[in-house]
Structure 1
Amino acid sequence: MLKLYHIPLSANSRRVWITLLEKGLPFEEIVLKLDGDQYQSEFLEISPFHHIPVLVDDGFRVVESLAILDYLEAKYPTPSLMPTDTKAIATVRMVELVTINELLPPTIRLTSQALGVLENAPQKVEKAHQQVLTVLDFFESLLGDSPYFASEFLTLGDIAAGTVVPQLPSIGVSLDDYPKLKAWCDRLMARDSWQKTQPSPEAIATSLPQIKALMKAYLM
């Protein structure tokens, strides 16, 4: 059976979790704690970079969330989460990589500011806010008239971006100027996989001290 080592509050973990649910795959969920499980020797044996999530399939390990998504799509192609048109494939890849490289870093900074982790740094916060808006402009244009990125059906791009964009209003980034993205978020949040993996306020509150510590370390 597939084994998923992850932290439910992590966007990186959640995108793999959602993919497993969307594909209807049985898996063993091994939940790591935010207080340092990823640095324990047992976990470092399967993830020497202490990154989460990790997928283990009959002894074969896959690290890095996008690599895990590719693995699941290749091994379990039904239902498909990747279009076949070349331009659509490129769009999905762009959304995945822009989410990881361009959206997550400033989102973490804005989240840190909202949680009071950062010292007062208005210029850095404004820069992060503008970086997020640049991504939202890009995503709004990519959606066009499609319900999902480059497709009539859910794709890996939607799963990657969909673990970050719907959370932006909670850290002060409004989606009111992005009607297509806003409707897309509503579409995602109505899916069972998003509802099942959405962290509860209680889980967030319980983990808040560890979340703050991790974000402070990330930004140092």
Structure 2
Amino acid sequence: MLTFYHYPMSPNSRRVWIALLEKELPFEEVVLQLNGDQLQPEFLEISPFHHIPALVDDGFSLVESQAILDYLEAKYPTPSLRPTEPKALGIVQMVRMATINELAPAMSPMVSQMMGMRTPEPEKLEESKQKLAVVLKFFEGLLEGKSYFGGDSLSLADITAGVSIPWLPQLGMPLDDYPQVIAWRDRVQSRPSWETTKPTPEMIAQLKALMQARMAKAKN
């Protein structure tokens, strides 16, 4: 039996959650509240860096969302979330890495602002928007004529990018100039796995309160 430790508002957690649902794998869900749950000795035995998500499969523990996604694909290959054709596979892996290394860091200042943690300098926000524009233009080209990044079927690239890009308009980065990205976003968001894992307004408010309390505590 798979045991999935996660926090529903975490993009990294949601990626693994979606993959588990897409593969229709049975799993036990353990929700951590990040108010100290992640520092408990029993969880540190699974995730020594106290990071979520974590997955335990018959006593074998994994951390780091992308590593977990690769493990699930290797051990439970049906339905496949990774194309075998070399070009499609290269695109899928490239999108995963670009999301983690380029998209997510560029979003960070804007997320901090939305959560009420801090107000970045206008120059910093403009720099983030410029970096996001580069990523979106890149993704727009990769999606030309395709339903998903890897072709006609959902892949790990769509899961990795698909929990982040839908937030961009709320962060102040409109998608109007990227029609292929918009069509793809709407396509992935209509899938049951996205609907099931979609953060509720209550969850967002809870996370904002948690982040603001941490910032206040750090200032004292």
Once the two structures are superposed, residues 3-48 of structure 1 have per-residue CA deviations (whole angstroms, 9 ceiling, x without a partner) of: 0000000000000000000000000000000223222222111111
Residues 120 and 150 of structure 1, relative CA distance in 2, 3 Å threshold: closer
1:66 aligns to 2:49 (yes or no): no
Letter paired with 1:134:
V
Alignment coverage as a number of residue pairs:
217
Which residue of structure 1 lines up, in the alignment, with residue 177 of structure 2? 177
In the alignment, the residues of structure 1 paired with residue 46 and residue 53 of structure 2 have an alpha-carbon distance, to the nearest angstrom, of 11
Q: 1:124 offset after TM fit, Å?
A: 1.1
Query: Cα offset for 1:203?
Result: 1.5
Letter in 2 for 1:50: H
Whether the 8 Å contact between 1:4 and 1:55 is mirrored in structure 2 is yes
Task: Write the distance in 2 (CA, Å) between the matches of 1:215 and 1:26.
Answer: 38
Q: 1:33 to 1:180 in 2, by over 3 A?
A: same
Structure 1 distance, partners of 2:215, 2:7, is 15
Output the CA distance in 1 between the equivalents of 2:157 and 2:211: 26
Q: Distance in 2 between matches of 1:153 and 1:56?
A: 27
After TM superposition, give the deviation of residue 125 of structure 1 in Å. 1.2
**Quick one: distance in 2 between partners of 1:214 and 1:177?**
36
SS at match of 1:203: helix
Q: Does 2:145 correspond to 1:148?
A: no
Kindly tell me: are residues 62 and 143 of structure 1, through their superposed partners in 2, closer, same or farther at Cα, counting changes over 3 Å?
same
Output the TM-score relative to the length of structure 2: 0.94
Q: Which ranges in structure 2 are unaligned for 5 or more consecutive residues? A: none
Match of 1:45 in 2: 45
Aligned to 1:20: 20
Do residues 79 (structure 1) and 49 (structure 2) align?
no
Matches within 5 A, 1:115-130: 115-130=115-130
Cα distance in structure 2, aligned partners of 1:80 and 1:120: 41
Partner of 2:138: 138
Q: Following the alignment from structure 1 to structure 2, what is the Cα–Cα distance between the partners of residues 34 and 92?
A: 31
1:155–1:28 distance in 2 versus 1, CA, 3 Å: same
Structure 1: gaps (5+ residues): none
Matched AA of 2:174: S
2:211 and 2:88 mapped to 1: Cα distance? Answer: 36
Q: Is the contact between residue 8 and residue 197 of structure 1 (CA under 8 Å) also seen in structure 2?
A: yes
Q: Aligned partners of 1:123 and 1:40: how far apart in 2?
A: 40
In the alignment, is the contact (CA less than 8 A) between 2:109 and 2:120 conserved in 1? Answer: no
Q: Contact conserved, 2:7 with 2:53, CA < 8 A, in 1?
A: yes
Cα RMSD (Å) of the superposition?
1.6
Match of 2:32 in 1: 32
Query: Secondary structure of the residue that 1:55 maps to in structure 2?
Result: strand
Larger mean CA deviation between 74-83 and 200-209 belongs to 200-209
Paired-residue identity, %: 57
Structure 1 residues 216 and 46: alpha-carbon distance in aligned structure 2, compared to 1, 3 A threshold: farther
Equivalent in the alignment of 1:106: 106
Taking a change above 3 Å as real, the CA distance of residues 216 and 159 of structure 1, as seen in their structure-2 partners, is: farther
Give the CA deviation at 1:120: 4.6
Q: 1:105 to 1:120 in 2, by over 3 A?
A: closer
Q: Name the counterpart of 2:10.
A: 10
Counterparts of 2:16 and 2:214, CA distance in 1: 21
CA contact (8 A) 1:112 1:215 kept: no
After superposition, give the CA deviation of every residue in 1:171-206 in whole Å (9 maximum; x if it has no partner).
Answer: 111011100000000001110000000010012112
How far residue 216 of structure 1 moved from its aligned partner, in angstroms, is: 9.3
Deviates more, 1:178-187 or 1:33-42: 33-42
Paired with 1:116 and 1:213, the residues of 2 have a C-alpha distance of: 10
